[in-house]
Structure 1
Amino acid sequence: MDALTAQTDALETPATGADDIATTTALATDIVLTGDRPTGPLHLGHYVGSLASRLATQEVVKRQYVLIADMQALTDHAGQGAAVADNVLKVALDYLAVGLDPAKTTFVLQSGVPELAELTTLYLNLVTVARLERNPTIKAEIEMRGFQRDLPAGFLCYPAAQAADITGFDATLVPVGEDQLPMIELSNEVVAKINRLAGTDVLTPARALLSSTPRLPGVDGRKASKSLGNAIPLSARPAEITEKVRAMFTDPDHLRVADPGKVVGNVVFAYLDAFDPDAAGLDELKARYRRGGLGDVAVKRRLEGILQAFVDPICQRRAVYGRDPAEVMRIVAAGTREAREVAAQTLRRVRGVFGLA
């Protein structure tokens, strides 16, 4: 991919906002496992919540695996398999566009590592239904999706699959938000049970790398979601950014320019907090808004310009890589082969614990 690399190297890589990670050597022996479900293009919320930290960690850790979790996506998108498959390329393009480097971050297609599915099956023998149902993340997602007793078994059991992902690649560090901590907890419970059965340390527990960045809301104030259409994709064109910013919720009581406005809970300021590089200027803007005399239109124009400047180099890089989708998928395939060799070693150890040849 030398020709594509030469073209994309000339483009600016967005700032990571994670200097505290990039400047430390404390993670030099860590193996990172992270990833995304290919249910649609990635958006600015993904960048703030995970992609920025991945750009930083890939520079300092021993190895970083980023999992395109197509099997997990099917747990609640079983009737949309073709769309999930199409989104694999889109997500891989998003990874490359923001600056993830295949030489430092191994791209892995989950369905291309069948060892993970076998590990999941073995782990399910160690996890009770009651334990899965108590998982607060699962409970919240069941409620959000409106599942009742028609809950797909695959969805209920996906924490066991995540344990397989984490242990399959010998990951020691998993970047997550606080809502995903129960997944790390369950994975480590499985690790402890396997090690007790073996009488020795077959698997290594992982620890969480918590994000200090607040979750970026959708333009309507709800949780940013690909399915709700309330997020700004990393591949957004200028017209879409303009449309999304103009639709953002502000302070409903800020009816006139002269009225004092609230910054907390204001979606526009949430995005400015995440992307405005001028911290001092932003503080002054907030003070003016709180005092009154600053209209929502002016604030949105500032944000629109900042987001246009941020997304433009990402779109340029994406366009360059998009000229050769077959090469992008070759990158994914090469990473998947590499990851499968690691997962196969883990599976052999775990099979031995269960007395399987």
Structure 2
Amino acid sequence: MFADRVLSGMRPTGSLHLGHYHGVLKNWVKLQSEHECFFMVADWHALTTNYDNVQIIENSVWDMVIDWLAAGVDPSQATVFIQSRVPEHAELHLLLSMITPNGWLERMPTYKDQMEKLSHKDLNTYGFLGYPLLQSADILVYRGNMVPVGEDQVPHIEFTREIARRFNHLYGKEPGYQEKAEAAIKKLGGKKGKLYDELRTRYQQDGDAEALEAGRALLEDAQNLSIGDRERLYGYLEGGGKMILPESQPLLTEASRMPGLDGQKMSKSYQNTITLREDADSVAKKVKQMPTDPARVRRTDAGNPDKCPVWKLHEVYSSDDVKTWVKAGCTSAGIGCIECKQPVIEGVLAEQKPMQERAQMYMDDPTLVRNIIAEGCEKAREVARETMKDVREAMGLAYR
């Protein structure tokens, strides 16, 4: 069985904002202390929709990495790298494209959705149609079996699972596969070997999902199997071939609770953002200019916090005592809107302060960031090369 490994990434298409921090980066910081993590600058993915504006990608790459480091991503715990500097992504994408039916790509829910949302762009390109497969290659080249995603991205992970299944079915049948699998069963020992056979029969004949899980657990606990034998027996259990590419699982993440300055979701497209390292004067100005409850025309008019975008920010940044003060003051007109906004400004600035402090040394010495990326890319390539060695052998491309 492959080791637990997390793969996640972001497209470099502009400054990161607090929505990115609450929706993605805080989770990355947590995951890096729990699993082996690979965090990718997805510059090739950025080209799928910004192929006509490559300057924004080039300008955003290094700033985005600094934002990651400022948010707490630790290169001593996680591998941070740039997608285009690991050419194995492109090779696996090409090889997987040979076995991927067009219909699988065309049915992706995000394909039509993005075509409609970005109707002002010409997205009738092979790159845009094929980006879910590139995303699959990103995951599978590291044999990443855990991918942190929101609900809307789960179909992409299921697509990746289907690709892995199809690949293993087509290419996992090595010469003498059945004989090697049966020999590996004997290595389990008489009692465990018999149990494995029973569980395999129950799953393949009756579709017993519990038998499948029990069989996987049995193999996971087996101490005397080589990696190759273990992979063969996982595939043999499920009725396929040797497991060359593992099936990934989605790690569901909560939707970002970070509202924008207008009360909608914080998003660059809505122009309602505060960037991770925005200066204090700009933050204060933006918050002070936020719209409030339309009923509060005058200072003496009572308001309703539930109808005010500022209240949504209080829910993120303010203590229970402050929120009680806001509710009482707003509904009784005891406080004005400017007073109400001050704790939000202080809360945002307090969250940004450690990020700005961490970012400063990288801004003072850009070679630190370059070195982190160089080391991360080399480590990523080492893992990717191992995968591609197995993929080429399976597809008959290892000849010399």
Report TM bin, short chain.
Answer: 0.7 to 0.9
Equivalent position of 1:345 in the other structure: 386
Q: Does 1:281 align with 2:328?
A: no
How far residue 286 of structure 1 moved from its aligned partner, in angstroms, is 5.7
CA distance in structure 2 between the aligned counterparts of 1:356 and 1:238, rounded to whole angstroms: 57
Per the alignment, in what secondary structure is the counterpart of residue 15 of structure 2?
A: coil
Give the conservation status (yes or no) of the 8 Å contact 1:33–1:65: yes
Which whole-Å CA distance do the structure 2 matches of 1:244 and 1:145 have between them? 28
Q: 1:296 aligns with which of 334, 337, 351?
A: 337
Cα distance change on mapping 1:129 and 1:239 into 2, 3 Å: farther
What amino acid sits opposite 1:238 in the alignment? A
Deviations 1:90-125 (A, max 9, x none): 011111112211010110100001110111122223
Q: Would you tell me which structure has more helix in proportion to its own residues?
A: 2
Gaps of 5+ in 1: 1-28
Aligned residue runs from structure 1 range 135-174, under 5 A: 135-146=108-119, 150-174=123-147
1:355 aligns with 2:396: yes
**Could you say which residue in structure 2 is the equivalent of 1:44?**
18
Give the drift of 1:223.
Answer: 4.1
- Contact map agreement 1:263 1:290 (CA 8 A) in 2: no
* Aligned twin of 1:217: 259
Determine if contact 2:6/2:147 at 8 Å carries over to the other structure: yes
The answer as to 2:269 corresponding to 1:242 is no
Whether 2:159 is the aligned partner of 1:177: answer no
Q: CA deviation at 1:148?
A: 7.3
Asked if 1:232 corresponds to 2:206, the answer is no
1:137 and 1:250 map into 2 onto residues whose CA distance is 34
* Structure 2 unaligned regions, length at least 5: 173-240
Task: Answer with 1 or 2: which has the greater Rg.
Answer: 2
Q: Give the whole-Å Cα distance in 1 for the aligned partners of 2:45 and 2:394.
A: 26
| Distance (Å, rounded) in 2 between the aligned partners of 1:334 and 1:58 | 17
- Show CA shifts across 1:200-220 (max 9, x none): 211112212222244533323
* Aligned equivalents of 1:150, 1:211: Cα separation in 2: 29
Mapped to 2, the partners of 1:218 and 1:157 lie a distance apart of 32
Kindly provide the CA deviation profile for residues 51-100 of structure 1, in whole angstroms up to 9, marking residues without a partner as x: 11111111121x11110111111111112223312211101111111221
Do 2:146 and 2:248's aligned partners in 1 also have CA atoms closer than 8 Å? Answer: yes
CA distance, structure 1, for counterparts of residue 160 and residue 4 of structure 2: 17
Partner of 2:159: 186
- Of 371, 378, 382, the residue aligned with 1:330 is 371
> Equivalences for 1:46-61 in 2 at 5 Å?
46-61=20-35
What is the distance in 2 between the residues matched to 1:220 and 1:149? 30
Q: Is the 8 A contact 2:314 2:323 kept in 1?
A: no
1:210-247 per-position Cα deviation (integer Å, ceiling 9, x unaligned) = 22244533323444333554211111001221232233
Identity %: 35
In 2, the alpha carbon distance for the partners of 1:255 and 1:152 equals 51
Pick closer, same or farther for the CA change 1:218–1:128 going to 2, 3 Å.
farther
Summarize deviations over 1:242-272 as a string: whole Å, max 9, x none: 23223334433444554341426x4323333
Give the Cα–Cα distance (whole angstroms) in 2 for the partners of residues 120 and 289 of structure 1: 58
TM-score, length basis structure 1: 0.83
Residues 340, 253 of structure 1: alpha-carbon distance in 2 compared, 3 angstrom cutoff: farther
**Partner AA of 2:114 in structure 1:** E
Say if 1:194 and 1:353, in contact at 8 Å, map to a contact too: no
TM-score by length of 2: 0.75
From the superposition, tell whether residues 213 and 249 of structure 1 become closer, same or farther in structure 2 (CA, over 3 Å).
farther
Note the aligned Cα RMSD (angstroms): 2.2
**CA deviation digits over 1:167-190, x for unaligned, max 9?**
111212111111211111111111
Contact preservation (8 Å) 1:194, 1:350: no
- 1:89 is matched with 62
